[in-house]
Amino acid sequence: MSTDKHYLETALQAANAADEVSLAGFTNRVFTVSRKADNSEVTEIDRNTETAISSVLRSAFPDFGIYGEEHGISGPTNAEYLWVIDPIDGTTNFVRGVPVWGSLIALVHNDVPVLGVVSAPALGMRWWASVGNGAYFNGTRIYVSTVNELSAAHVSTTSNAGWEQVGGLPALQQLQVDALRSRGFGDFWQHMLVAQGAIDFAIDAIGLAPYDNAAIYPIVQEAGGTITDRFGNADWRANSMVSSNQLLHHLVIDRLPS
């Protein structure tokens, strides 16, 4: 079953609104930085970008719920549809002047992500997908790679304290060594590169939140890939995320600590 195209059109309009706010802030470099309870960085640009996104979505679909990183949950609490928003994924990059950051917008239906938009205006890049309608990068349909051997694979991994706590750093390092090429693209970008077929699998940090994951899931899936948590479960609410071209997925998951 395909997703209503009006949902995607609205999400793309919301991404346009987000780009206007976020790119202006990134370019002007006029913002303050504070720390949230989890010690992650946040700026007023994050909050203003989420407000811009939510305004578009709420105007078009007042009966849908909204769950955003900065402003939490709003709208009907028992809604069948829920918009999930990360206004700026990669805030640390944003703060440091690195252009790898983006707005993530997902639509979840009965707890399943059915639509995703990832907009990275500083890179001039945007990806989107909806269930049954394929995945796209800047208007061109995309597909995952066909690499089926680790020794020929290009990979991206994100080591962090979460992986250290579960004893996973040696496994990540060995995967990097055994692959043909290893890079750390980070955040949303590594998973979008998997969807494009530019790299073959990506292992994210441990410690993710649902709004980090929701928009990524349908894009990778509609491109023909597989996306799960580190245990191999397709769970957008999990605190970890591994995406691949499908052919390498079990090999990668089997080498991670359980």
CATH pick for 150-254 out of 3.40.190.150, 3.40.190.80, 3.40.50.920, 3.40.140.10: 3.40.190.80
What is the reported pLDDT for 2? 53
| Cβ atoms of residues 53 and 87 within 8 Å | yes
- With residues binned 3-state (H G I as helix, E B as strand, rest as coil), the percentages for the chain, rounded to 5, are 35, 25, 40
User: Residue 42: what residue type?
Assistant: V
| Cβ atoms of residues 89 and 205 within 8 Å | no
Q: What kind of fold does domain 5-133 have according to CATH?
A: Fructose-1,6-Bisphosphatase; Chain A, domain 1 (3.30.540)
All structural domains of the chain with their residue ranges: 5-133, 150-254
What is the reported pLDDT for 30? 78
Q: Where are the alpha helices (DSSP H) in the chain?
A: 5-28, 44-60, 91-96, 161-165, 169-178, 187-196, 210-213, 216-222, 249-254
Mean pLDDT by 10 residues, the chain (258 residues): 81 98 91 75 88 97 94 87 96 93 97 97 98 97 98 97 97 97 95 98 97 98 98 98 98 95
User: Residue 209: what residue type?
Assistant: A
- Distances 55 to 10, 17, 103, 211, 230 between C-alpha atoms, Å: 11, 9, 15, 18, 34
What is the reported pLDDT for 39? 64
Nearest to 82 by CA among 106, 47, 102: 106
Residue where the block lists tokens 């990669």: 90
Q: Is 133 left (phi over 0), alpha (psi -120 to 50) or beta?
A: alpha
What is the reported pLDDT for 225? 98
Contacts of residue 218, Cβ cutoff 8 Å, sequence gap at least 6: 106, 113, 114, 115, 116, 129, 130, 131, 135
What is the reported pLDDT for 76? 87
What is the reported pLDDT for 32? 82
Q: Strand 112-120 to strand 154-157: parallel, antiparallel, or no bridges (unpaired)?
A: unpaired
